[in-house]
Amino acid sequence: MPPRMLFADTFYWVALLNPRDAFHSRVTAFNSNLGTSRVVTTCAATPT
């Protein structure tokens, strides 16, 4: 079974990369529970 793909927008990336962001701890916790899921951006989520 291929890994599940999850779309991540700017909100996710800013919160993940900025420790002072109000949602940093939530996104970090979410990120640690992804397992084999792949986080993708707009470009990766668009079929070619």
21-48 pLDDT, tens digit each: 999 999 999 999 998 888 888 766 566 5
Q: What is the pLDDT of residue 21?
A: 97
Q: What's the pLDDT at 42?
A: 72
pLDDT at 43: 67
Distance CA 5, CA 31 (A): 13
Residues 6+ apart with CB under 8 A from 8: 39, 40, 41
* Predicted local confidence at residue 45, as pLDDT: 56
pTM above 0.85?
no
Domain containing residue 41: 5-45
Total domains present in the chain = 1
